[in-house]
Amino acid sequence: MSMEKQQPPADAITREVVDLMASLVALFHREYEEAAAARSLTGAQAKVLGLLRRGPMPMRHIAQTLACEPSNITGIVDRLESRGFVTREADPLDRRVKLVAATEAGGLATDELRESLNFAREPLAALDDDERRHLRDLLRRMLEGADSAEAATG
């Protein structure tokens, strides 16, 4: 007996939604990379800075969240630190753990980058407030469903 999770058959609407989402993701990634490059950041550096908006976090957690090797995060953090965008501090609860925190300059760079992203503004402007709220709620449900499925299989 196979342990693979059986996927429901994809109907035409599901296939079209998946294609539309893929197009939106590609558009977002292209614009995000361009916005990061305009600020002399790589996409990975911009993602780390964006993640640090939540507050200081261990490098291992950054690596897990971005699904990359801890050694890659070390290099990214080194470059961000050399530009004054982040600092490394010992975790007060466990001195062996290094917490990475955005500096004021890093926070400003992240805010500026986010403000420069236009990809969603124009398409979302075509929707009224109720439609945007409904879309937000649907996206949340989809992500919660994905998180639940991942937890069940992980």
Nearest alpha carbon to residue 55 among 5, 94, 110: 110
**For 75-84, what is each residue's pLDDT tens digit?**
999 999 999 9
Q: Note whether residue 10 is domain-resident.
A: no
Q: What domain range is 75 assigned to?
A: 23-119
Q: Are residues 37 and 49 in the same domain?
A: yes
What is the average per-residue pLDDT within 17-43? 89
Q: Note whether residue 92 is domain-resident.
A: yes
Residue 27: give its domain's CATH number: 1.10.10.10
Whether pTM exceeds 0.75: no
Percent residues over pLDDT 70 in the chain: 87
Q: Note whether residue 1 is domain-resident.
A: no
Q: Are residues 112 and 133 in the same domain?
A: no
> Which of the four pLDDT bands, split at 50, 70 and 90, describes residue 4?
low
Q: Note whether residue 57 is domain-resident.
A: yes
**For 100-147, what is each residue's pLDDT tens digit?**
999 999 999 999 988 888 766 777 788 899 999 999 999 899 888 777
Q: CA 43, CA 31: separation in Å to the nearest integer?
A: 10
- How many domains is the chain built from? 2
> Which of the four pLDDT bands, split at 50, 70 and 90, describes residue 9?
low
Q: Are residues 141 and 115 in the same domain?
A: no
Q: Are residues 90 and 27 in the same domain?
A: yes
Q: What is the pLDDT of residue 2?
A: 47
Q: What is the pLDDT of residue 1?
A: 46
Q: Are residues 109 and 70 in the same domain?
A: yes
Strand partners, 52: none
Mean pLDDT (the chain, rounded)? 87
Nearest alpha carbon to residue 56 among 22, 14, 86: 86
Q: Are residues 74 and 142 in the same domain?
A: no
Q: Note whether residue 14 is domain-resident.
A: no
Checking if the pLDDT of 150 tops 80, the result is: no
Q: Are residues 112 and 134 in the same domain?
A: no
